[in-house]
Amino acid sequence: GTAGAAFGGGEAAPRPAPVPAPTAQPRSVSGPSGKKQRRQAQAQAQRDTQQQRSHTQHTTPSHAVAAKVLQGEGRRRPDSSKKRPPLPPTDAAAKAAIAKVLDVADAATASADAPESLLTRENPPPGPLACAAADATDAPESLLGWLLAPVPPAAFWERYFERRPLLCKGRGRGHLRGFFCKADVDALLRRERGLVWRYNVDAVRFDESLREKVVHNGAPGERADPDRVWELFESRGCSLRVLHPQRWSDALQSLLAGLERHFGCAVGCNAYLTPPRSQGFAPHWDDIDAFVLQLEGTKRWHVYPRQAAGQERWPRESSADFVPEDLPPPAVVTLHPGDVLYMPRGTIHEAAVADTDEHSLHVTVSSGHRVTWADFMQLALQGALATAAEENEALRRCVPRDVFDHLGVVHAEDGGGEREGADGGGKGASKGGDGGSRRGALLSQIERMVRKVVSAMPVDSAADQMCARFMAQRMVPPAGAGGPGGADATVRTGGAVRAAFAGAGRLVIEGGEAVVYHPFANPRELHMEGDEPGAEVEGALCFPLEVAPALEAALGATHGALLGVREAAEACAEHAAEEDVLASLQALVDAGVLKTVDDDSDSG
């Protein structure tokens, strides 16, 4: 697109209008915008800390993750006698090497009887139109199908997700047209507020002599001077990384909002602009599932196979940089405009612009960050421990005064075996006397208490907490996908309502109230920053518990299964007045979570 053409007009997404004061007026969990500046300052401070930690991790030779992958060896300077593994000498050998690491789905050779819903190669829809089509039909899975064509979504989830890299190609240069371009980067740099070093933009390059990443950023928090940035790009060979371009690009906003609805987790992205014959980053793995969308130029990717031993599968943290010579031969693939490369979390990779006079621009769409079972269990166990302590007096007793005489590393035999100690001896027994039996008794007691904690695990509460966090993180839906209702969007007894889209809100019970979390009040410029400790929740409305049945039914209503307002009121008739139910539904309409439907025609 042209420079700035895809950018939203303002820095922040529009906020819902205040809710009138009916009998059952909801209250916001926190003020909608009064503390926004403090929240931004807190977020900036945490980003600086995280980025400093990330920079340290990616440059420290003894970083634990890198050491584990390299089987205990720290990062080292390359042996001058060692060189990169040569590329396969023939097309057949190259294809064989690629097949060992990843699959290639070529739309140009796809079966003619593939589903029509995937795409037509003769006239592929440009990116923004595909997003709009998926949104209009409330079918976000069709957006993923379009993105990965000719691979259907079901095949992706079954064969590739978290399992194996996938390259989707042959859809034509225009397949991803309209999401982002080099001119957009320049427009962002030259706008009134510009871009800020480390917060919005980085300038990095991979130094071939040092075999490591070199950062050329300005001072943290300093506005990036456009002329200086382009000098680094054109004369120093630096790649430019634009962080979270979806905050300004309407097309990327629509893409991520649609994918979030299908993935059920926050989806982010960064843009990478690399000059000719340059490389920005050393080999590494990421703690996210990556979808690389090639938008301009070409880029050669090295995708490394999983190590025979030592490489962590599905890591929860990104790795340090690796020395290429320490890695096995990679699969080498070249991405052209319109191609998409999927890499599961933990895939070691690097990319460079080959011998060409054209720059490369791609965006990496990321998902799956901190939504593992470990993250779920962390939430569940926190609640389980509190609940179990309330219900079991044994957990509230002091630990025995001799516990330090029998538990601890100094009391365990070499080889670990603490579990064996639960049987009263074995490898976990303490040395000497009858200390082993005392140690075993203590371990048995601990295991009994652990079982009580696990039995009290509030899995539903943990799911609600994780979903509420997702609602706070996710992209504010673009115009047309919900949002504050107009003056004529009034809930009437004879009308009906439905959710703006599936999953537009989440009903939870907290503190004796019904709380609906939703993404429509999320500031667009803070996308992906809703999970900081102490962060305020913008999109949360509290209602009397008595109207919960109506709220639950309304959030589950769809295009094909509307909820009559009278029916909603009847569901709460024993405990709530009709006007309270209508006022609660109206509050959700005003917030954009629900849409009104009158006389079988959608008027919301």
CATH classification of the domain holding 573? 3.90.930.40
> Which of 352, 369, 386 finishes a domain?
369
Q: Check whether residue 284 and residue 199 sit in a common domain.
A: yes
Q: Check whether residue 303 and residue 394 sit in a common domain.
A: no
d(CA 365, CA 282): 19
Confidence of residue 529 (pLDDT cuts 50, 70, 90): confident
What pTM does this model have? 0.77
Confidence of residue 584 (pLDDT cuts 50, 70, 90): very high
Q: Which domain holds residue 380?
A: 374-455
Q: Check whether residue 289 and residue 335 sit in a common domain.
A: yes
201 part of a folded domain: yes
1 part of a folded domain: no
Question: What's the CATH code of the domain at 125?
Answer: 2.60.120.650
Q: Check whether residue 489 and residue 544 sit in a common domain.
A: yes
Q: Check whether residue 286 and residue 428 sit in a common domain.
A: no
Least Cα distance to 466 among 288, 259, 264, 263 occurs for 264
Query: How many other C-beta atoms are found inside a 10 Å radius of the C-beta of residue 358?
Result: 12
Distance, C-alpha 221 to centroid of its chain: 25
Q: Check whether residue 423 and residue 467 sit in a common domain.
A: no
Q: Check whether residue 381 and residue 362 sit in a common domain.
A: no
For 360-428, list the strands marked E by DSSP: 360-367
16 part of a folded domain: no
Confidence of residue 483 (pLDDT cuts 50, 70, 90): low
- The torsion defined by the Cα of 567, 570, 575 and 580, in degrees rounded to 10, comes to 50
551 part of a folded domain: yes
What are the tens digits of pLDDT across the range 218-237? 898 899 999 999 999 999 88
438 part of a folded domain: yes
DSSP helix, strand, coil percent of the chain (3-state; round to 5) = 35, 15, 45
Q: Check whether residue 360 and residue 378 sit in a common domain.
A: no
d(CA 289, CA 266): 12
d(CA 92, CA 485): 59
d(CA 82, CA 355): 22
Checking if the pLDDT of 170 tops 80, the result is yes
Residue 77 near residue 326 (C-beta atoms within 8 A):
no
Q: Check whether residue 388 and residue 491 sit in a common domain.
A: no
Within the chain, what is the greatest distance between any pair of CA atoms? 85
Q: Where are the alpha helices (DSSP H) in 502-561?
A: 548-555
Q: What is the DSSP letter of 276?
A: T
> Which of 329, 351, 369 finishes a domain?
369
Checking if the pLDDT of 189 tops 50, the result is yes
Range from 80-94, 406-420, 544-558 carrying the lowest mean pLDDT: 80-94
The helix/strand/coil state of 333 is strand
6 part of a folded domain: no
d(CA 373, CA 381): 12
**What does the pLDDT average to over 65-82?**
37
Q: Check whether residue 364 and residue 412 sit in a common domain.
A: no
Domain count, the chain: 3
d(CA 125, CA 147): 10
Range from 4-13, 140-149, 457-466, 547-556 carrying the lowest mean pLDDT: 4-13
Q: Check whether residue 494 and residue 560 sit in a common domain.
A: yes
**What does the pLDDT average to over 12-37?**
42
What are the tens digits of pLDDT across the range 375-408? 999 999 988 888 889 888 999 999 999 999 999 9
What is the residue-averaged pLDDT of the chain? Answer: 78
Confidence of residue 291 (pLDDT cuts 50, 70, 90): very high
117 part of a folded domain: yes
Checking if the pLDDT of 14 tops 50, the result is no
Checking if the pLDDT of 195 tops 80, the result is yes
> Which of 417, 434, 455 finishes a domain?
455
443 part of a folded domain: yes
Q: Check whether residue 301 and residue 331 sit in a common domain.
A: yes
